[in-house]
């Protein structure tokens, strides 16, 4: 029977900080088998950061598990920094880390914004990729951003009311800019209050059934500040040109093994984007989890991702 549970907790065998410019220093770690198949875990958000649980999608006896906190996220410094923070720079950060660790080619594993970044990296450096395992597809298009800001209220009206309610009525015509004014405020309390509401909104809409663990993570200060500031910054300033670039350039990775895992009832990243991606990339293994939303920790999503990493053991 295919494995469906996460692997046991594991500690890194190596950690480090990689300066990438005069502003940003990135946290990275390696766990598992130092001589195993390299896999890069790309966290979501943007800005959410990685956690110890993310190491557990991979068999530590087979994989050399590389985790990196992206610019402004998690243990990277400065937290929430938006200067010199673009998709192109994140792609090159991953490439710099690959060279730093002496890795020739690696598997990419990313969910939500991590799927966006994995596609962007893969299409830029296909020769460095063994394959891609993607979850909760997000393609950074205006329709997806508008859905997050306004249309999730059709499914989660209570969460959206709290989200919109943090902004005075006269500013609600442009929630993104209203939030950004607060997230970029010189006053730390104003920034933190807005960040916590933003992060809790996303966390509240991320699972099919309410998840106290997910809500607790969303409310944590480091997670909330990194997620809200970086996410709002990317929504404002970092969309692709042309907007459908990730779909248009799928031909650059179609020769690579691919897996797409999508929750049927994913409200944060609705299934329409995953469906468009699988139509552009018909060779990829496409699995819709019928009883799941967005979170990678939902049982069906978790099982499908672990099964994907097990199937990909044949690729070296």
Our answer to whether residue 11 is catalytic in this structure is: no
Instruction: Give the three-state DSSP class for 294.
Output: coil
Q: In what order do the strands lie in the sheet with 258-263?
A: 14-19, 25-32, 63-68, 37-42, 106-111, 129-135, 258-263, 285-289
Cross-strand bridge partners of residue 63? 37
Instruction: Give the residue from 140, 136, 121, 141 showing the smallest Cα distance to 253.
Output: 121
d(CA 214, CA 223): 11
d(CA 216, CA 197): 12
d(CA 48, CA 73): 6
Residue with tokens 């004014």: 181
Our answer to whether residue 112 is catalytic in this structure is: yes
The two beta strands, 63-68 and 258-263, are: unpaired
Question: Which residues are CB-contacts of 293 (< 8 A; sequence separation ≥ 6)?
Answer: 205, 206, 207, 208, 263, 265, 266, 267, 268
d(CA 297, CA 303): 9
Question: Which residues are CB-contacts of 66 (< 8 A; sequence separation ≥ 6)?
Answer: 28, 29, 30, 38, 39, 40, 41, 97, 101, 103, 106
Catalytic residue, candidates 59, 266, 273, 295: 266
d(CA 244, CA 249): 9
Catalytic residue, candidates 54, 125, 294, 295: 294
Our answer to whether residue 266 is catalytic in this structure is: yes
b/e code 238-262 from CB counts within 10 Å (16+ = b) = bbbeeeebbbebbeebeebbbbbbb
Catalytic residue, candidates 112, 115, 206, 207: 112
Phi and psi, residue 159, nearest 5°: -65, -40
What are the catalytic residues? Answer: 112, 266, 294
């Amino acid at each position: 029977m295919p494995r469906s549970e996460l692997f046991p907790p594991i500690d890194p065998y190596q950690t480090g900080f990689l300066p990438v410019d005069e502003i940003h220093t990135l946290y990275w770690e390696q766990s598992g088998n130092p001589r195993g198949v390299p896999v890069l875990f790309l966290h979501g958000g943007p800005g959410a950061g990685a956690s110890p649980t993310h190491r557990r999608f991979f068999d530590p006896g087979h994989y050399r598990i590389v985790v990196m906190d992206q610019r402004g996220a998690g243990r990277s410094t400065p937290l929430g920094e938006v200067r010199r923070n673009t998709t192109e720079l994140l792609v090159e950060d991953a490439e710099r880390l690959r060279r730093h660790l002496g890795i020739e080619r690696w598997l990419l594993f990313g969910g939500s914004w991590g799927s966006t970044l994995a596609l962007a990296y893969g299409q830029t450096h296909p020769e460095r990729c063994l394959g891609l395992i993607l979850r909760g597809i997000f393609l950074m298009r205006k329709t997806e951003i508008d859905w997050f800001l306004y249309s999730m209220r059709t499914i989660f009206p209570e969460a959206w009311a709290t989200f919109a309610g943090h902004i005075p009525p006269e500013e609600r015509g442009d929630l993104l800019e209203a939030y950004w004014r607060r997230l970029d405020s010189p006053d730390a309390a104003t920034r933190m209050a807005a960040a916590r509401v933003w992060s809790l909104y996303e966390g509240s809409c991320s699972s099919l059934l309410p998840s106290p663990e997910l809500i607790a993570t969303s409310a944590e200060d480091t997670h909330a500040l990194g997620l809200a500031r970086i996410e709002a910054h990317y929504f404002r300033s970092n969309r692709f040109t042309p907007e459908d670039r990730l779909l248009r350039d799928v031909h650059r990775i179609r020769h690579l093994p691919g897996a797409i895992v999508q929750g049927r009832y994913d409200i944060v990243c609705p299934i329409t984007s995953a469906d468009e991606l699988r139509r552009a990339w018909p060779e990829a293994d496409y699995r819709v989890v019928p009883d799941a939303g967005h979170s990678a920790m939902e049982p069906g999503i978790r099982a499908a991702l672990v099964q994907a990493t097990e199937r990909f053991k044949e690729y070296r």
